[in-house]
Structure 1
Amino acid sequence: MDLSTIIGIGAAFGLMLMAILQGGPLSIFINTPSMLIVFGGTLGNTFVHYPFSDVFDAINVAKKTVLYKEISINDLIIQLMEFANKARKEGILALQGAMEDVEDEFLKKAMQMAVDGQEPETLRSMLNTEIEYIQQRHDKGADIFISIAAYAPAMGMVGTLIGLVQMLQTMDDPAAIGPAMAVALLTTFYGAVIANVLCSPMAGKLKNRSASEVLTKTLIIEGMQSILSGENPRIMEQKLHAFIAPKLRESTFNK
Structure 2
Amino acid sequence: MNIATIIGILFGVAILVAATYASTDSVEVFINLPGIAIVGGGTIASTFICYPLREVMRVLKVFMMAMGADELPLENYIKVIVGLSKQVATKGEAHLEGSLKNIENDFLREGLQMLVDGYSKEEIKEILDNRIQQYHEQEYSAAGIYRTMATLSPAFGIIGTLIGLIAMMQGMGSDIGAIGPAMATALTTTLYGALFANMFFMPIAIKVEKRIDEITLLMQVIRDGILFIKDKTPSAIVMDKLKGYLPPRKWASVKAKK
TM-score category (smaller protein)? over 0.9
Equivalent residue, structure 2, for 1:191? 193
Q: CA deviation at 1:24?
A: 3.5
Residue 150 of structure 1 is matched in structure 2 by: 151
Unaligned runs of 5+ in 2: none
2:242 matched residue in structure 1: 240
In structure 2, the CA distance between the partners of 1:25 and 1:137, relative to structure 1 (3 Å rule), is: farther
The 5 A counterparts of 1:131-150 are 131-150=132-151
State how far apart, in whole Å, the 2-side matches of 1:8 and 1:69 are. Answer: 13
Residue 59 of structure 1 deviates from its aligned partner by 2.2
Cα contact 1:33–1:183 (8 A) shared by 2:
no
In the alignment, what sits opposite 2:166? 165
Q: Which amino acid aligns with 1:230?
A: K
Q: Larger deviation: 172-181 or 123-132?
A: 172-181
Aligned to 2:115: 114
Q: 1:19 to 1:254 in 2, by over 3 A?
A: closer
TM-score (normalised: structure 2): 0.92
User: What's 1:59 paired with?
Assistant: 60
Instruction: Name the structure 1 match of 2:9.
Output: 9
Check conservation: 1:121, 1:225, Cα contact below 8 A.
no
* Residues 89 and 234, structure 2, Cα contact 8 Å, conserved in 1: no
List alignment gaps of at least 5 residues for structure 1.
none
1:205/1:226 CA distance change after superposition, 3 Å: same
TM-score (normalizing by structure 1):
0.93
CA distance in 1, matches of 2:75, 2:144: 31
The aligned counterpart of 1:203 is 205
Root-mean-square deviation (CA, aligned residues, Å) is: 1.9
User: For residues 74 and 20 of structure 1, what CA distance do their matches in structure 2 show?
Assistant: 45
Distance change (3 Å), C-alpha of 1:253 and 1:183: closer
Structure 1 position 218 matched with structure 2 position 223: no
Q: Tell me, in whole angstroms, the C-alpha distance in 1 between the residues paired with 2:70 and 2:116.
A: 27
- Report the alpha carbon displacement of residue 69 of structure 1 after superposing the two structures with TM: 7.5
**Preserved contact between residue 147 and residue 201 of structure 2 (Cα < 8 Å):** yes
Distance in 2 of aligned mates of 1:104 and 1:21:
49
Contact kept, 8 Å, 2:83 with 2:235, in 1: the verdict is: no
Q: Alignment partner of 1:230: what SS?
A: coil
- Other-structure match for 1:19: 19
Report the Cα offset of residue 252 of structure 1.
4.8
Separation in 1, partners of 2:35, 2:185: 5
Distance 1:64 1:225 in 2: 29
- Partner letter of residue 190 of structure 1? Y
Change (3 A) 1:207 1:111: same
